Structures are given as C-alpha cells and as structure tokens.
Structure 1
Amino acid sequence: MFKFFSNPRNVLHLSSRILFAGLSLLVAGIYGAYLYGGYLSIPALVSLHAMTIIGPTLLKIGYVMRLLSQYHLRQRLNGGGA
C-alpha cells in the first residue's frame, strides 16, 4: 500500500476519484434531503443528511491529496530541488 502512495500519479488519480465521489454524495444528499425530503422515511432522510456532511469531507480530503501530488510531481520535474 505504501508503494501505491509513493507514486504521485497514483495519488493524483485517486484524488480525482475522491473528488468526484464527494461531489456526487453532496449533490445527491442536498437533492434528497432538501428538495425531495417530504416523501422519504426518517432513516432515508438521516442518511441523506449524513451525505451532506460526508460529501464535503471527501472533497476536502481529495483536494489536499491533489495539492500534495501536484507538489511532488512539480518537484520531480524540477529535479528534486525545493
């Protein structure tokens, strides 16, 4: 697993997937909890509201991973210098 995360390109691709998943959860949660909420059961509403919390969390994690991988790719391109 450490070998996977040591390659910045792998982390960059993973961050894109996490960003997409976070955005999808956020949009689905907002739509379901606030626009379509009157027709759903309480457990469904609770899970949709949880999606509005988990979605932005994944967005933040994915964005930080993306920044770190781009930083390391830039360092490799410049010859390893800071």
Structure 2
Amino acid sequence: MFTYLSCPRNVLHISNQLLLGGLALLVVGVFVAYGYEGRLSLPTLVAAHAGVILGPTALKIGYVMRLIAHYNLNKAQALAC
C-alpha cells in the first residue's frame, strides 16, 4: 500500500475519487436529510445527516491529498530539469 501511495500520480487519482465521492455523499445527504425528512425512518435520517458531516470531511481530505500530489509532481519535474 505504501509503495502505491509513493507515486504522486496514484495519490492524485485517489484524491480525485475522494473529491467526487465526498461531493456525492454531501449532495445526497443534503437532499435526503432536508428534503424527505417527513417520509423516512429515523435510522435513514441519521445516516443522511452523517453523510452531511462525512461528505465535507472527504472533500477536505481529498483536497489536501491533491495539493500534496501536485506539490510532489512539481518537485519531481523540477529535479528532472
């Protein structure tokens, strides 16, 4: 696993997936938690509100991973010149 994450392109790919997943989780969570709150059961609403919390968390982690990947790609490119 650590060898896979040592390549900046792999980290960039994972960060893009994490950004998209976090955005999807946030959007679905908001629509379910605040759009259908009268029609759903309590465990479903709790899961939707958890998505509202975990979605932005995934977005932040994905963004930091993306920054790290771009930094390492630029550093590797500068060393090659």
TM-score exceeds 0.5: yes
- The match for 1:7 is 7
Q: Which runs of 5+ in 2 are unaligned?
A: none
What CA RMSD, in Å, does the superposition of the two structures yield over aligned residues?
A: 0.8
Q: Which runs of 5+ in 1 are unaligned?
A: none
CA distance in 2 between counterparts of 1:38 and 1:63 reads 34
- The match for 1:44 is 44
For normalisation by structure 2, the TM-score amounts to 0.96
* Runs of 4+ in structure 1 over 3 Å off: none
Aligned residues: 80
CA distance in 2 between counterparts of 1:78 and 1:52 reads 40
CA distance in 1 between counterparts of 2:32 and 2:38 reads 9
- Identical aligned residues as a percent: 54
